[in-house]
Amino acid sequence: MTRMGRDFSYTTQRDAVSPVSADVIFASSRFPNYKNRANTLEDAKLVSMKQEFRNETAQLLDQQNRLSVRDLASKFEKGLAAATKLSDETKLQDVASLEKHVLIENLRDALESLRGRAVGKNKDDVEEAIAMVESLAFQLTQRESELVQEKAEVKKLASFLKQASEDAKKLVDEERAFARTEIEKARAAVQRVEEALQEQERMSRAAGKQDVEELMKEVQEARRIKMLHQPSKVMDMDHELQALRTQLAEKSKSSVKLQKELAMCRRGEIDTPDIFELDGAESLGSYLEIHQCSDTAPELLQCSIQWYRLASEDGKKCLISGATKPIYAPEPSDVGRVLQADIISDGLSVTLTTSGPIDPAAGLGNYVEALVRRHDTEFNVVIVQMNGADHPSESIHVLHVGKMRMKLCKDKTTVAKEYYSSSMQLCGVRGGGNAAAQAAFWQPKIGLSFVLAFESERERNAAIMLARRFAFDCNIMLAGPDDRATQKTT
308 phi and psi angles, rounded to 5 deg: -135, 155
Residues 370 and 327 in one domain: no
- Given 227, 247, 268, the domain boundary residue is 227
pLDDT tens, position by position, 443-458? 999 999 999 999 999 9
Kindly state whether residue 15 falls inside one of the protein's structural domains: no
- Given 317, 334, 353, the domain boundary residue is 353
Q: What local confidence, expressed as pLDDT, does residue 212 receive?
A: 81
Contact in structure between 435 and 286 (CB atoms under 8 Å): no
Q: Indicate left, alpha or beta for 37 from its phi (over 0: left) and psi (-120 to 50: alpha).
A: alpha
Residues 349 and 456 in one domain: no
Integer Cα distance of 126 and 114 in angstroms: 7
* H or E element, residue 418: strand 413-419
- Given 227, 257, 289, the domain boundary residue is 227
Residues 343 and 414 in one domain: no
Q: What local confidence, expressed as pLDDT, does residue 17 receive?
A: 39
Residues 368 and 464 in one domain: yes
CATH number of the domain that 327 lies in? 2.60.40.2700
Kindly state whether residue 38 falls inside one of the protein's structural domains: no
Residues 218 and 329 in one domain: no
For the ranges 96-100, 252-256, 352-356, the one whose mean pLDDT is highest? 352-356
Kindly state whether residue 221 falls inside one of the protein's structural domains: yes
Residues 342 and 376 in one domain: no
Residues 144 and 190 in one domain: yes
Residues 375 and 337 in one domain: no
Domain count, the chain: 3
Query: Mean of the pLDDT values across residues 233-239?
Result: 65
Residues 425 and 397 in one domain: yes
User: Which residues are within 8 A (CB) of 174 and not within 5 positions of it... i.e. 6 or more apart?
Assistant: none
Segments forming the whole domain that contains residue 466:
364-474
Query: Mean of the pLDDT values across residues 153-181?
Result: 82
Residue 30, pLDDT > 60, answer: no
Name which residue leads in pLDDT, 121 or 346: 346
CATH number of the domain that 388 lies in? 2.30.29.140
Burial class (CB in 10 A: 0-12, 13-18, 19+), 465: buried
Tell me which residue of 53, 486, 183 sits closest to 310, measured CA to CA: 486
Residues 349 and 377 in one domain: no
Classify each residue of 84-105 as buried b or exposed e, where b means 16 or more C-beta atoms within 10 Å of its C-beta: eebeeebeebeeebeebeeebe
Contact in structure between 455 and 397 (CB atoms under 8 Å): no
For the ranges 96-105, 121-130, 227-236, 259-268, the one whose mean pLDDT is highest? 121-130
Amino acid at 473: D
Integer Cα distance of 230 and 228 in angstroms: 6
Integer Cα distance of 456 and 459 in angstroms: 5
Residues 413 and 343 in one domain: no
pTM for this prediction: 0.48
Q: What local confidence, expressed as pLDDT, does residue 137 receive?
A: 77
Contact in structure between 458 and 364 (CB atoms under 8 Å): yes
Residues 414 and 305 in one domain: no
